[in-house]
């Protein structure tokens, strides 16, 4: 299949120049220039301005960008689906996993998935909520599994609850607050969280507010679970992680649970995908395996997923 003009447009965006796009796509620069000129003529707008920094998107180019990425992603998905119908199990799957599903779910499913789909490339991105939402929306990710609050959920994305989570504070071994038994004792503590906007941060603020305590102080954020745990183990910062991960992950790095009486309910662990999209057979198979692994854990959301495949033509019960 010939490269479509939108893919050349995206290559210029991603590399910053027509020369870079030509190199990335294995084309001559005149061919890239001609394709861009044809696209701009067809659309009757200028998509790029030249500057000392390379090719910079115009207002029209910015408006086209998200749609172009989505069209390109859907075209790739369509080709993967056609190959599957022909009996060729090739293609690629891109998924973002929060630290909990990456640690507890992916190891349970990857071996079986690789045996079933040996020629499919799998990319697992470490992206935190809410930053993963634009990547799902524009098609850079087939789906994501992450804690996701239901409040103010965008209408163009589906949120399929898989697992309820409980959060617990953790500190380094020997921390002065290691024996604290209430959130009140942690009122003056400084926290390290994945992001300021993540579901974990929202749950902590809600719990502190509900206990009549001041807003928690968080001046340090760390989007990777490994980085967050090592930061907690080497400082007096307090972390907040799913209870299910304390013994399997936190304890070996020198981090212990703070035995507060209050239990903080985290956002449900959810599968997130575009509402208007249909997952490729490979992406649907991986999503289904991950959902089944989640349902096998304590705290699984009953009725959260129906059917054997997530994201194909059916709509799962419990989606919002």
- 214/251: higher pLDDT: 214
> What are 164's two structure tokens?
């309820």
pTM score of the predicted model: 0.74
Residues 6+ apart with CB under 8 A from 75: 4
**Helix, strand counts (H, E) of the chain:** 10, 11
CA 204, CA 260: separation in Å to the nearest integer? 13
- pLDDT tens per residue across span 55-108: 899 999 999 998 888 888 888 878 878 877 877 788 899 999 988 899 889 999
- For the chain, the straight-line distance linking the first and the last C-alpha, in angstroms and rounded, comes to 37
* pLDDT for residue 274: 92
303 pLDDT more than 60: no
CA 81, CA 77: separation in Å to the nearest integer? 6
The whole-angstrom distance between residue 266's C-alpha and the CA centroid of its chain comes to 17
- The stretch 100-128 carries a mean pLDDT of 92
237 pLDDT more than 90: yes
- The stretch 261-271 carries a mean pLDDT of 90
* pLDDT for residue 162: 94
306 pLDDT more than 60: no
CA 278, CA 301: separation in Å to the nearest integer? 23
Candidates 162, 182, 178; CA nearest to 170 is: 178
* pLDDT for residue 90: 83
């Amino acid at each position: 299949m010939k490269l479509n003009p939108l893919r050349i447009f995206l290559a210029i965006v991603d590399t910053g120049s027509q020369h870079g796009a030509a190199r990335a796509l294995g084309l001559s620069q005149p061919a890239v220039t001609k394709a861009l000129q044809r696209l701009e003529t067809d659309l009757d707008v200028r998509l790029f301005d030249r500057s000392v920094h390379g090719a910079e998107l115009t207002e029209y180019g910015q408006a086209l960008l998200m749609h172009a990425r989505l069209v390109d992603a859907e075209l790739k998905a369509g080709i993967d689906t056609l190959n599957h119908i022909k009996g060729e199990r090739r293609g690629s799957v891109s998924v973002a996993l929060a630290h909990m599903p990456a640690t507890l779910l992916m190891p349970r499913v990857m071996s079986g998935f690789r045996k079933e789909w040996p020629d499919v490339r799998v990319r697992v991105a470490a992206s935190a909520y809410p930053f993963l939402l634009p990547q799902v929306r524009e098609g850079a990710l087939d789906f994501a599994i992450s804690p996701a609050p239901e409040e103010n959920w965008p209408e163009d994305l589906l949120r399929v609850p898989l697992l309820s989570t409980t959060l617990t504070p953790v500190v380094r071994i020997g921390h002065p607050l290691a024996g604290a038994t209430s959130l009140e004792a942690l009122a003056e503590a400084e926290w390290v969280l994945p992001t300021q906007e993540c579901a974990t941060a929202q749950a902590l603020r809600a719990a502190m507010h509900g206990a009549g305590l001041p807003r928690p102080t968080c001046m340090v954020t760390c989007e990777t679970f490994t980085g967050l745990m090592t930061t907690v183990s080497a400082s007096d910062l307090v972390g907040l992680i799913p209870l299910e991960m304390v013994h399997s992950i936190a304890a070996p790095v020198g981090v212990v649970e703070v035995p507060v009486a209050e239990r903080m309910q985290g956002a449900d662990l959810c599968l997130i995908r575009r509402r208007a999209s249909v997952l490729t057979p490979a992406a649907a198979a991986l999503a289904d395996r991950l959902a089944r692994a989640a349902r096998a854990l304590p705290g699984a959301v009953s009725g959260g997923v129906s059917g054997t495949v997530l994201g194909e033509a059916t709509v799962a019960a419990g989606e919002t």
